[in-house]
């Protein structure tokens, strides 16, 4: 029941991020998973990967704070159901060459600039799409959280951005 409500919202957010990445130098990654269960694995760094996952669901009496009392015991659940979503992007990272020499400083700088460009596009897309969803009353509220670098791990480098969205937690008149 919860996923049937959240899935269209999360996949719509993912589609907006995917479309925003089209305007970056690296473009849209070949692998785009708009909603995956559990932890996001860097399964396709050779072609890049965009993936979203619902990492936490909780009730809130005052969004975005988690409810600290059991209002359901009083006959009414908190008015907001909140979900934390991770938006994850992986790209290829500079690695050692065939002679086991480390990547050049120029290659590392270019990778950092590309990472920054991707993060800016992701955060811009999130702000636009989440604002649109709030204006349409499809979500009650949202918080765009931190963006953290991921990797480099093997040949993968990426960014995880968290968002928290709130939807109506139906149950009381």
Q: What is the pLDDT along the chain (173 residues), one digit of tens a residue?
A: 578 899 999 999 999 999 999 999 999 999 999 999 988 887 666 779 999 999 999 999 999 999 876 655 666 788 999 999 999 999 988 988 889 999 999 999 999 999 999 999 999 999 999 999 999 999 999 999 999 999 887 788 999 999 999 999 875 54
- Between CA 56 and CA 90, with CA 127 as vertex, the angle to 5 degrees is 65
Q: Using the CB atoms, write b or e for 150-161: b if 16+ within 10 Å.
A: bbbeebbbbbbb
pLDDT at 156: 86
Please tell me the predicted confidence (pLDDT) of residue 44.
Answer: 61
145/151 Cα distance (integer angstroms): 19
The C-alpha atoms of residue 33 and residue 115 are separated, in whole angstroms, by 19
Contact 160, 147 (CB under 8 A): yes
The C-alpha angle 8, 66, 36, rounded to 5 degrees, equals: 30
- Domain 2-168, what fold? STM4215-like (3.30.2000)
Determine if the peptide bond prior to 152 is cis (ω within 30°).
Answer: yes
pLDDT at 77: 80
What pLDDT does residue 171 have?
A: 58
pTM of the model: 0.90
d(CA 11, CA 173): 29
Structure tokens at 3: 């996923």
Listed by start position, the domains of the chain span: 2-168
* Structure token digits, residue 130: 């989440």
Residue given tokens 């965009």 in the structure block: 50
Pairing of strands 141-153, 156-168: antiparallel
pLDDT at 43: 67
pLDDT of residue 52: 98
């Amino acid at each position: 029941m919860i996923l049937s409500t959240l899935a269209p919202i999360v996949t719509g957010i993912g589609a907006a991020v995917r479309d925003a990445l089209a305007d970056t130098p690296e473009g849209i990654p070949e692998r785009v998973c708009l909603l995956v269960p559990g932890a996001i694995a860097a399964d396709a760094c050779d072609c890049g990967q965009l993936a979203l996952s619902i990492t936490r669901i909780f009730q809130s009496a005052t969004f975005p704070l988690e409810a600290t009392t059991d209002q359901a015991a009083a006959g009414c659940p908190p008015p907001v159901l909140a979900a934390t979503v991770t938006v994850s992007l992986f790209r290829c990272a500079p690695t050692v060459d065939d002679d086991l020499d480390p990547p050049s400083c120029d290659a590392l700088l270019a990778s950092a600039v590309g990472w920054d460009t991707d993060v800016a596009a992701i955060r811009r897309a999130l702000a636009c799409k989440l604002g649109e969803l709030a204006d349409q009353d499809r979500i009650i509220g949202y918080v765009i959280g931190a963006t953290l670098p991921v990797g480099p791990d093997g040949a993968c480098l990426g960014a995880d951005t968290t968002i928290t969205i709130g939807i109506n937690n139906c149950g009381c008149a």
